[in-house]
Structure 1
Amino acid sequence: MSADPSLPSDAAAAPRSDMAHPLPCVCLCVDDFGLHAAINDAVLHLLELGRIGATGAMVDGPAWTAGAAALHAQPAGRIDVGLHLDLTEAALASESRAKLPLRQLIVASYTRRLDPSWLASEVRRQLDAFERAWQQPPAFVDGHQHVHQLPMVREALLDELLQRYPDPAQRPWLRDTRPALGLSAGVANAFKAAVIAALGRPALRRMATTYGFATNRALSGVYDFQGDGVRYQQLLGAWLLHARHGDVLMCHPATAMVQGDAIAAARCNEYQVLASEWFGGLLEQLPLRIGPLARWLREAQQARHGGTA
């Protein structure tokens, strides 16, 4: 097809993979699956279009069980379904204790004032809820508002994952929040990405390496949820232009505005762009493919260990 004038001129310079795949794989991951039906609908439609490679489930969301059943009806292997560990969503309630606002959770984790028994039970409860609906381990684990990397939380999470999945072949990959290199998303968004990574990323990466958990290479998709669809289109083009093999590009689309959702307008903007003909054309031009990461990460990890898991 003819070149899109909105596509940066150096698109063909995007790096290719050094693995066996013909094109580098970038995983577009929809966060917050199950929070409400409009997010689920967006995931199902974008999956049908081949525009996403993963989705993270909020198992306390009222639409999670129905969403899991709908995903089960899709062909196997098309999408990584993971646990989007939630300790902060104020509209939801834990069985044992109310969830905390993000700022309060960050302070409590860094001052080590979180209740370890509550953390352990909450991680266990959400993994149980995930497995009940999905009938298999999560392909990956990350955190709503990136809480999975915070002090105390990361220890509770890895402890439970190691006990629950002693076979390395069953272990989920973990989201690494390292900012993707070369982003052109603006100073404010680059600063936000750096702050997110600073809140526990180095320690989680060390622990993942020590205990044999695979991780994505880097993360993009961080922005302030402001602006219209034109702005999101510009951001998405820049993120994908600089994407490399093994990156995660997180997104938050929904098919409709939902009352009480703090980023409802941004979700609709994202969905419209991700489902657009423009995005389909962009993917045809860029030398990359959109897909899940679990199988590739597992193969790469086995290759590093001489063919053993």
Structure 2
Amino acid sequence: MISLLHPDLHYFFEEYPSEENKTYFIYALADAAQDSWFLKKNSHLHYRNLLTEAAGDKAAEISPYLVQLGHNHNIEWQYISKRVVGTPRLTLIISSLDFDSLYSHLRQFLNVQFEGGLEMYLAFWDPAILGTLVGQISDQTLYVQQQVLSDQQKKVLLEPIHSWWYWDRKEKLHKIIGGNGHESLKFYDWKNPFTFTLLQEELMVEATFPDHLIYYLNLNNPFLVEGFNEWELYQYVVEKIALAREYGLEGTRDILNFICLTLIYKNTFEQEELLQSVLLKVKNKMMTMDQAMEDLESLVDENE
């Protein structure tokens, strides 16, 4: 069966460690929100919802799961090869920890606390979040090219992991090297989660900013982005965030409206005199972006 697998999986198994007196296991962190069929099609596997606080069937359907996988001859790899490779639907973990130990280890890092006391989920099952947290240098698709975790936090997270694998936005496979220790370093738990500094908080917010904008574009203005594939749209939004900030815009609402204008005006955006005169007032703090949108709507109505 291995000959039928995707080349990325061939490479994954070639890198699988072989050491005397040490047994390694293969796990997946599978995001049911992105692929609801993986666990249904592979119900024979041992798996558990990472978010035990998620109550009800609906919550369980969109939760991340730790899944223990067999080796390359097992049937689940056919599904992964055909449906998962090149996507963010799951990440792969090689570790000497047994299922319960790895599950307990990963559960320690679900929550992160900010300096102001606010807590949130640390969605490390998302490849873009995982890569940003550990500062994966090989991943050039990351919006924030900087390690968010402190060196100590990174060490604690990766200590009992041999390697952690994921596919980026351009479908390239990346390998995160772990500490390959024998035991989990239990310095944190759900009662005492990772604490992020203000800088770490800002980096995480920035890292997810393009995806939040894309979510709202698809939700409220899908007709504006229907000609883009996922990677093209991501690149476009990243580029326009930088341009919006040149106009002094910062908030989600303002930058989202700005991006909508660039999508509406397209190649005439920079040449449209009325548009640029209004945006210049925004840049010079003579009006807000909301006021600019109202003015532009009035100008369009007058010209119809």
**TM-score, normalisation: structure 2:** 0.30
Question: Of the two, which has the highest radius of gyration?
Answer: 2
**TM-score, normalisation: structure 1:** 0.29
Structure (1 or 2) with the greater strand fraction: 2
Greater relative CO, 1 or 2 (CA 8 Å, sep 6+): 1
